[in-house]
Amino acid sequence: MKHKQGIRPLTLSLALAGAVAATHLPAAWAGDSKGAKQSDVMSEDMREAWMEGKLETALLFNRHLNNFAIDPDVDGTHVTLEGTVASDIDKDLAEQIALSIDGIESVDNELEVKADYIERDVDETADDFSNRVEDATLTAEVKIKLLANSNTEGLEINVDTKNRVVTLSGEVDSDAGKDLAEKIAANVDGVREVNNNLNVKS
């Protein structure tokens, strides 16, 4: 893929770093002894979200893979890859990229190989590429905002973004939690619309 108009991998890295810096951290992170245990859990969640962001960035900048068709889930030092690729070679490539991320020690590669799957166009324009970078950045920002909110931090919410439209999926405990997650996503600067596909646990 050709990087035009000065677009470089550093762009998304800086954007992800900015998303972390711009997030208002809970009081427990500021040295509150009562929240020390919560702080440790939150710190681990943030570390995992950051590692997911780094992996999604690496997938984004690989011209052979479509990062929007690959969903990584980091748990400690382990990552699970789900989604679709066009060949066994692409499946192995995604796994090797994951293992190259500092802090990831093992990979459960559950990617499905479909021979007729169409990968992204390698001749995409600079505008297309810029939109992909923005979508990946918005996904990272929404994830971090959800983790930083004490009412949504522990929820299993998957975030996907395409053309600045954020789609939320997964399960939450209540209708209130579902509405809160949607409002948090909608309030992230740059998000155009939110598709709330979250299910409320019965």
- The residue type found at 97 is I
DSSP 1: -
Neighbouring CB atoms inside 10 A of 165's CB total 14
Q: Is residue 2 part of a domain?
A: no
Residue 78 lies inside a defined structural domain of this protein: yes
Which burial class, exposed, middle or buried, applies to 182 when counting CB atoms under 10 A from its CB (0-12, 13-18, 19+)? middle
Residue 96 CA: distances (Å) to CA of 81, 128, 163 = 11, 26, 28
| 55 strand-pairing partners | none
With beta carbons less than 8 A apart as the criterion, state whether 43 and 51 touch. no
The stretches in the chain having pLDDT less than 70 are 1-42, 117-127, 129, 153-154
Domain that holds residue 69: 9-200
Provide the whole-model pTM.
Answer: 0.53
Q: Decide: helix, strand or coil at residue 24.
A: coil
> How distant is the alpha carbon of residue 137 from its chain centre?
8
**1 is a domain residue:** no
pLDDT for res 167: 94
Whether 163 is in a domain gets the answer yes
C-alpha 171/C-alpha 177 separation (Å) is: 10
**Which residue bears the tokens 């066009």?**
86
- Is residue 4 a part of any domain in this protein? no
In a domain, 3, yes or no: no
Task: Using DSSP, state whether 3 is helix, strand or coil.
Answer: coil
Res 82: pLDDT: 93
Tens of pLDDT, residues 118-140:
655 445 555 676 787 788 888 88
Q: Give the pLDDT score at 41.
A: 55
pLDDT at 81: 94
Structural domain count, the chain: 1
Cα-flanking dihedrals φ and ψ of residue 98, to 5°? -60, -45
